[in-house]
């Protein structure tokens, strides 16, 4: 059972959602829970005014389908790991469906090291070939979100059956410890846990993910902080921050500015 569940900005700032800007998340089937964090949709009607959609680092990679794309070949793309926030400005009617993969098992579906995706949007056709075109066409003709998810899960389950696991064992075990410790584990301690050198761990993360273990654990820690701030209405803000290693205000604000682009008080009013 996964000990990590990322959270995104529209969930935290649901007051920004309205009839012209909707974000929703959907749980995967039991067979895919170890691979898929969630499915998500963004629907925007920006005919009257532009709508901003904030995306924050979550330690995951996404396959995104543009359901309004005029071309099947450009209707889906893959986005790698993020280490800083991004704000998208929608100025036209838009509809997107996303598959949010855990990065330690995503290679079974992406088929390439995630390091090759850093800083790039790669068209799914370049990875899946005709399978991508078929799925995009199927999704665009689907009647509602339930049918879309059904078609997507059929494709993902076929990948699990046909493709061998490409997950690096050192990467997987290292990330398991990071999840279990909510990102609050030093690389030295991690090396002791997995019985590998710190150098080997850093090399594996860079080769497979394109970012270092310290960077990745920082994202996991920040995500864990956000979840607790969102779901725990009884504890004091400062107590939760200290729990996750943010012992002074400048350190906390610096992380929020980098990963979220806003101060804590702008999010948790």
The residues, ordered by sequence, that sit 6+ positions from 150 with a Cβ below 8 Å of its Cβ are none
Please, which residues bridge with residue 62 across strands? 79, 100
Tokens 């999840």 appear where? 179
The strand pair at 60-66 and 36-44 is best described as unpaired
At residue 172, what are phi and psi to the nearest 5 degrees? -60, -50
Residue 48 has pLDDT above 70, yes or no: no
Could you say which of 3.60.110.10, 1.10.10.60, 3.50.50.60, 1.10.20.10 is the CATH number of the domain covering 169-267? 1.10.10.60
191-206 pLDDT, tens digit per residue, is: 999 999 999 999 999 9
- pLDDT-derived band at 161 (thresholds 50, 70, 90) equals confident
- pLDDT-derived band at 165 (thresholds 50, 70, 90) equals low
Distance (Å) of CA 178 to CA 36, 214, 217 = 18, 10, 6
Per-residue model confidence (pLDDT) at position 1: 60
Distance (Å) of CA 64 to CA 69, 74, 78 = 12, 11, 6
Q: Which of 54-63, 154-163, 180-189 has the lowest mean pLDDT?
A: 154-163
- pLDDT-derived band at 10 (thresholds 50, 70, 90) equals very high
Residue 162 has pLDDT above 90, yes or no: no
The strand pair at 36-44 and 51-55 is best described as unpaired
Percent of the chain with pLDDT over 90: 79
The neighbour count for residue 232, using CB atoms within 10 Å, is 13
Domain positions in the chain are 9-162, 169-267
Residue 6 has pLDDT above 90, yes or no: yes
Q: Note whether 100 and 34 are within 8 A (CB).
A: no
Instruction: Output 33 or 167, whichever has higher pLDDT.
Output: 33
Q: Note whether 54 and 9 are within 8 A (CB).
A: yes
The residues, ordered by sequence, that sit 6+ positions from 268 with a Cβ below 8 Å of its Cβ are 12, 229, 230, 237
């Amino acid at each position: 059972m996964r000990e990590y569940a990322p959270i995104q900005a529209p969930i935290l700032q649901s007051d920004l959602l309205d009839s012209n800007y909707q974000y929703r998340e959907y749980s995967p089937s039991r067979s895919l829970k170890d691979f898929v964090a969630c499915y998500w949709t963004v629907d925007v009607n920006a005919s009257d005014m532009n709508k901003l959609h904030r995306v924050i680092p979550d330690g995951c990679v996404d396959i995104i389908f543009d359901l309004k794309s005029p071309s099947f070949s450009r209707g889906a793309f893959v986005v790698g790991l993020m280490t800083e926030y991004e704000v998208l400005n929608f100025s036209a009617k838009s509809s997107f469906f996303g598959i949010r993969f855990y990065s330690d098992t995503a290679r079974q579906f992406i088929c390439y090291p995630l390091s090759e995706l850093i800083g790039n949007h790669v068209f799914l056709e370049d990875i899946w070939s005709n399978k991508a075109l078929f799925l995009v066409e199927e999704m665009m003709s689907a009647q509602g979100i339930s049918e879309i998810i059904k078609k997507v899960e059929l494709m993902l389950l076929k990948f699990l059956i046909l493709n061998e696991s490409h997950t690096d064992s050192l990467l997987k075990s290292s990330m398991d410890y990071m999840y279990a410790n909510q990102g609050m584990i030093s690389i030295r301690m991690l090396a002791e846990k997995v019985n590998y050198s710190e150098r080997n761990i850093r090399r594996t993360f860079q080769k497979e993910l394109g970012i270092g273990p310290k960077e990745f654990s920082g994202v996991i820690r920040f995500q864990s902080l956000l979840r607790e701030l969102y779901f725990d209405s009884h504890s004091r803000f400062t107590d939760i921050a200290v729990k996750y290693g943010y012992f002074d205000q400048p350190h906390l604000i610096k992380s929020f500015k980098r990963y979220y682009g806003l101060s804590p008080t702008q999010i948790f009013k």
